[in-house]
């Protein structure tokens, strides 16, 4: 059989379709999620239902977001699941998760074996809605999970680490080999739990400032902070925040980035308005 065919479906590369085929892994993920009736369970990318069928056996209702029309048709006609599912045939990247949480009157429990081609952008999109999310369980490339949990002074510490740790407590749960999927991806995978902080440790007044500062510094990783942020902060200001101006983006902690973002919000000048655009 063509190795891209699974359960009679031809896996589409452009939708990042790598279907789980390993029952031990599927059961481990579902027991980590621990779904209960009455919860607002939402799966991103249910595909052929490998996780959906098992989660569905614990709950009366669940929501799924699936972009592939063929898979939506299969799910809508699924013998066991069809009466339990609310299907959003949509791109998860444009879903307003806060609106859905408001409609179901409770925070969402989101999970999924995410399409790897959009997983990082999708995480950034989900962070916007962490106030409406109870927890998230995702299968991701191992390399992405390494970046999510990376601490300063590490080569993989970046904008994703700062934004993820600003919003969430992150717990890697399980390593998964390529052979657990059909077709097999070229990378190793990790299942991770992200729990949005109920109280943000270093709240920033305007998260757009944090986004822009981290984009600016990490886009110029090799430059010192004095240079990459030279148009926004003097070396004296950086020193006042306890940041050595000769450090690079990867040496600055989440708390220090938050201080810088708040300083910009406070001294919100015309220049900084331009900076936000």
CA distances from 199 to 125, 130, 169 (A): 20, 11, 11
Which residues of this chain interact with ligand SAM, rule CB under 6 A? 15-20, 44-48, 50-51, 65-68, 71, 91-93, 113, 115, 118
- Burial string for 50-72 (b: 16+ CB within 10 Å, else e) reads bbbebbbebbeebbbbbbbeebb
| Helix, strand, or coil (residue 141) | strand
Integer Cα distance of 240 and 235 in angstroms: 9
Q: How far is the CB of 142 from ligand SAM (least distance, A)?
A: 14
Give the residue nearest to ligand SAM (CB).
45
Integer Cα distance of 169 and 151 in angstroms: 13
Q: How far is the CB of 143 from ligand SAM (least distance, A)?
A: 16
Of the two residues 22 and 206, which places its CB atom closer to ligand SAM in the complex?
22
Q: Hey, what are 215's tokens?
A: 């984009």
Of the two residues 72 and 209, which places its CB atom closer to ligand SAM in the complex?
72
Q: How far is the CB of 5 from ligand SAM (least distance, A)?
A: 14
Of the two residues 19 and 58, which places its CB atom closer to ligand SAM in the complex?
19
Q: How far is the CB of 117 from ligand SAM (least distance, A)?
A: 8
Cβ(101)–Cβ(110) below 8 Å: no
| Helix, strand, or coil (residue 65) | strand
Of the two residues 35 and 46, which places its CB atom closer to ligand SAM in the complex?
46
Of the two residues 91 and 240, which places its CB atom closer to ligand SAM in the complex?
91
Of the two residues 92 and 163, which places its CB atom closer to ligand SAM in the complex?
92
Residue whose structure tokens are 């609106």: 99
Q: How far is the CB of 187 from ligand SAM (least distance, A)?
A: 12
Q: How far is the CB of 100 from ligand SAM (least distance, A)?
A: 14
Bridge pairing between strands 62-65 and 85-88: parallel
Integer Cα distance of 26 and 52 in angstroms: 10
Number of C-beta neighbours around residue 212 at 10 A: 18
Q: How far is the CB of 149 from ligand SAM (least distance, A)?
A: 21
* Runs of H (alpha helix) within 141-186: 142-149, 159-167
Integer Cα distance of 166 and 110 in angstroms: 19
Of the two residues 65 and 254, which places its CB atom closer to ligand SAM in the complex?
65
């Amino acid at each position: 059989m063509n190795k891209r065919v699974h359960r009679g479906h031809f896996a589409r590369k452009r939708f990042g379709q790598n279907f789980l085929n390993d029952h031990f892994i599927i059961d481990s993920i579902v027991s980590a999620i621990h779904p209960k009736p009455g919860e607002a369970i939402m799966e991103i990318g249910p595909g052929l239902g490998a996780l959906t069928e098992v989660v569905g056996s614990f709950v009366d209702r669940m929501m799924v977001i699936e972009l592939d029309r063929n898979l939506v048709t299969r799910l809508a006609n699924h013998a066991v699941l069809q009466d339990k599912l609310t299907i959003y045939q949509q791109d998860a990247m444009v879903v307003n998760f806060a609106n859905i949480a408001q409609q179901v009157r409770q925070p969402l429990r989101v999970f999924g074996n995410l399409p790897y081609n959009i997983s990082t952008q999708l995480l950034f999109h989900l962070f916007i809605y962490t106030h409406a999310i109870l927890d998230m369980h995702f299968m991701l490339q191992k390399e992405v999970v390494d970046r999510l949990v990376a601490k300063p002074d590490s080569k993989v510490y970046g904008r994703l680490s700062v934004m993820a740790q600003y919003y969430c407590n992150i717990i890697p749960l399980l390593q998964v080999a390529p052979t657990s999927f059909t077709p097999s991806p070229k990378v190793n995978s990790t299942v991770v739990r992200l729990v949005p902080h109920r109280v943000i440790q270093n709240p920033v007044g305007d998260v757009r400032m944090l986004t822009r500062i981290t984009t600016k510094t990490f886009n110029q990783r090799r430059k010192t902070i004095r240079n990459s942020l030279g148009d926004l902060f003097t070396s004296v200001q950086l020193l006042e925040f306890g940041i050595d101006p000769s450090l690079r983006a990867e040496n600055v902690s989440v708390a220090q980035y938050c201080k810088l973002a708040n300083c910009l919000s406070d001294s919100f000048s015309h220049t900084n308005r331009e900076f936000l655009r």
